[in-house]
Structure 1
């Protein structure tokens, strides 16, 4: 069975603490043995943060709780010091301003020749434009398991702004999306949108806390931890409160290598706080930027999230952008949102069209399938309909009669592939529908009869559903499925009489 690790979501009271706030509780399964341990919420590499405490080491559970107070004091002091420094910087001319990328701080004329920065990386002549848009000159932190700072292109930012305006959103909580925050600030007079930035990167203290305005909070999205303590969290709650028909939303661009469970917990907690503060049952709109191939990880935990067919470009990623050196099918990064997709307007973006049948905007290569009744493409290719699978698949896939699925042609090995298959009937892993002996026992068919039905499907070139034995659809979309299997579905979780446990539907 191998090893698997999951995050256990619970109150972090009593969890050990590191400099990134309360740790997360993890559960590791090796074969049939379980181990629970605490580890840093922000850094998965122990070389970056060494916190690792087994649950049975009770004496260590409360270790370093004093760091909570230390974090608060350091955060507040840093915010104050950087605010004062920025006031000095703004009084200097462009040619007398420098920024030390090694120390992450500004230098003014009198400090330029300081020996303390002699061998550091210094950038000179910082303009007002750069101060207003710091991600245009700050060096990005690009470890996917940590900060993973990939900055949106101007075209993507304009698209976001257009979406917000059409939805009449005028307050945005940017969680780990610094370039969007500065874009909204820079175009505030045009967009009329207020925003705040919640981020782990303390460099933004220098740019977003001045003139008595506080729009940057040092924050860890994976444990919903405000480093500045209750005072800062109270300011965040004040921002969440709506007045005069205000409409707020969350926009998050987390590291692509992150665990989704703790971030989902954070988003749900903020949503609950939003409803409580506003004494309302209104849904807080959420926009989550993530690659399309991570869809299952989001929708299995938040079934209300739908993936939009808009490709997000970055300026500093090797391939996640348009152009000759970009990915052939365009960026794989998408927006997941709980806003109904028919309300999202992409009319200002080239390469997209409104599908009148789906009633949503899709990329031009994403052609509507009348048999599947949707525009099926997710990866930027034009999908094709496989009659033997009774669904649309990637154009590079070919149907394998042995596996009873469309698969990649290159290096395809049936035995290995079938071990990863999930049967559409019993929902269990390791076999396909033509080998579901649990179902054969219920429906009264034997292996020989099923083999004949499979051969008939191949002969007529259309799939014969092994639930109702009618051609033209698969077992996953069979209209009689719930009745035949006594199946119960709630959100993305399914249970039927052939299964002993609940399964998440990922097909």
Structure 2
């Protein structure tokens, strides 16, 4: 997403998912998302609406402040423009290729037939698949472009019968925002639960989320029940994530799933082995650490245990006596992680995401800034540090 009015005091943008079915402005890609500027020291950021699917405003230039009043003429012109334009083609064709692989396997008769329903923003797939096999869909806002007809097709597909089981396999663009994606996957899971018996009303739909391993903290913040598998996903039509001279030696793309890792068998011929202690398949170089009692590697390399830090770290890291932690040899010693603490209340005890008062900076206006400052000062005092704001 293009940074609108970004300045030195702005740390970035946070997605504010709407509660309930609150109406939001629409662009050619469906309902937009509400964003908020994240600033230091609890300063309230102004909220705005932008496209859910496109992070570059060259692809979709929709922009509207949350408190902006839109005239009727402008709204009518916007609706007409949305009808004229089509959603852009899919940024990745990998989910579609999985759909094609399933259909090809069904045609060969080599395995038990499987049903597959493709949800993709590329409307051109409608030329090749019927509505029971494809739905025009935006995974960043859970928007079905064909309305109730597509929603009904999804409900019918998720209605398990005769021992059939459904699983969601998601392969979104790697630059996609995790929070909106998690919101859409949660709503698909809720739709799945609604189609099942009352006994499974609290069970989540099986999910396999394909995403880079370094996004694990963000994914687990939304879905704590997911586990990252060691399996490295390669793409034969991706310039970077493939084997060969032009690709990386090891792909950073992994599988995140709520299916028990013990039930997923990884191919031993590709270098995976079963760890009897962890009860899961791991990479060949991912050796079990007796101190941590886990196979620790995230990136496919063999990690090492640091007795001073009490955890396993990457092989390229070294323990720094000045910082008291492991880091790259050329790291700046004056920048230790977490030194700045919470940008919302100035406490060193937690980060902004875990701040119990982070909602105050969003909802408070300039008129009520004095009362908010007193609350922030009280919280900081309990954390052992008082921070005054002007």
TM-score by length of 2: 0.78
Q: Is contact 2:207-2:259 (8 Å) kept? A: yes
Residues 26, 39 of structure 1: 8 Å contact kept? yes
Residues 215 and 64 of structure 1: CA distance in aligned 2, closer, same or farther (over 3 Å): farther
- Shift of residue 346, structure 1, vs aligned partner: 1.1
Alpha-carbon RMSD across the aligned residues, in angstroms, is 3.0
Q: Deviations over 1:234-283 (max 9, x none)?
A: 11111111111110010100111111111111111111111112133233
2:25 matched residue in structure 1: 16
- Structure 1 pair 38/20, CA: closer, same or farther in 2 (3 Å)? same
TM-score when scaled to structure 1? 0.61
The answer on 1:402 being equivalent to 2:345 is no
Aligned residues: 334
Distance 1:371 1:150, change over 3 A: farther
Bigger CA radius of gyration: 1
Counterpart-to-counterpart distance in 2, 1:499 and 1:198 = 51
| 1:67 CA displacement | 4.0
Tell me, in whole angstroms, the C-alpha distance in 2 between the residues paired with 1:38 and 1:349: 49
Q: CA deviation at 1:204?
A: 1.4
| Among candidates 236, 256, 259, match of residue 315 of structure 1 | 236
Give the deviation of 1:68 after TM superposition: 9.6
**Contact (CA 8 Å) 2:27, 2:82: kept in 1 or not?**
no
DSSP-derived class of the 1:187 partner: helix
- Relative to 1, partners in 2 of residues 1:191 and 1:409: Cα closer, same or farther, differing over 3 Å? farther
Paired position in structure 1 for 2:62: 51
Q: Is the 1:21–1:68 Cα contact (8 Å) retained in structure 2?
A: no
Q: Secondary structure at the match of 1:205?
A: helix
Comparing 3-12 with 36-45, greater Cα deviation is found at 3-12
Offset, 1:30: 3.3
Q: Give 3-state SS (helix, strand or coil) of 2:15's partner.
A: strand
Q: CA deviation at 1:28?
A: 1.2
Distance 1:56 1:402 in 2: 49
SS at match of 1:289: strand
1:347 Cα offset (Å): 3.8
* Equivalent position to 1:379, from 288, 296, 299: 299
Pair 193,7 (structure 1): closer, same or farther in 2 beyond 3 Å: same
Structure 2 residue runs of 5 or longer lacking an equivalent are 1-8, 343-347, 353-381, 386-390
Alpha-carbon separation, structure 2, partners of 1:287 and 1:16: 31
Cα gap change, 1:65 to 1:335, in 2 (>3 Å): farther
Which of 159, 171, 179 is the matching residue for 2:97?
179
Q: Any conservation in 1 of the 2:236–2:243 contact (CA below 8 Å)?
A: no
Which aligned pairs between 1:84-103 and structure 2 lie closer than 5 A?
none
Residues in 2 aligned to 1:43 and 1:324: alpha-carbon distance in whole angstroms: 31
Are 2:350 and 1:428 aligned? yes
Matches within 5 A, 1:37-116: 37-59=48-70, 63=75, 67=79
With over 3 angstroms needed to count, the CA separation of the structure-2 counterparts of 1:42 and 1:338, relative to structure 1, is same
Unaligned runs of 5+ in 1: 79-103, 105-140, 142-146, 152-176, 431-496, 501-507
- More moved, 401-410 vs 318-327: 318-327
C-alpha distance in structure 2 between counterparts of 1:346 and 1:14, whole Å: 45
Aligned residue runs from structure 1 range 2-401, under 5 A: 2-10=10-18, 11=20, 13-31=22-40, 32-59=43-70, 63=75, 67=79, 147-149=90-92, 151=94, 177-188=95-106, 189=109, 190-209=111-130, 214-279=132-197, 280-281=200-201, 282-328=203-249, 330-347=250-267, 349-401=269-321
1:5-37 Cα shifts (integer Å, max 9, x gaps)? 111111453211111111111111334131111
Do the aligned residues in 2 keep the contact of 1:16 with 1:63 (CA within 8 Å)?
Answer: no
Judged with a 3 Å threshold, the aligned counterparts in structure 2 of structure 1 residues 66 and 236 are, in CA distance, closer, same or farther, namely: farther
- In 2, Cα distance between equivalents of 1:348 and 1:418: 38
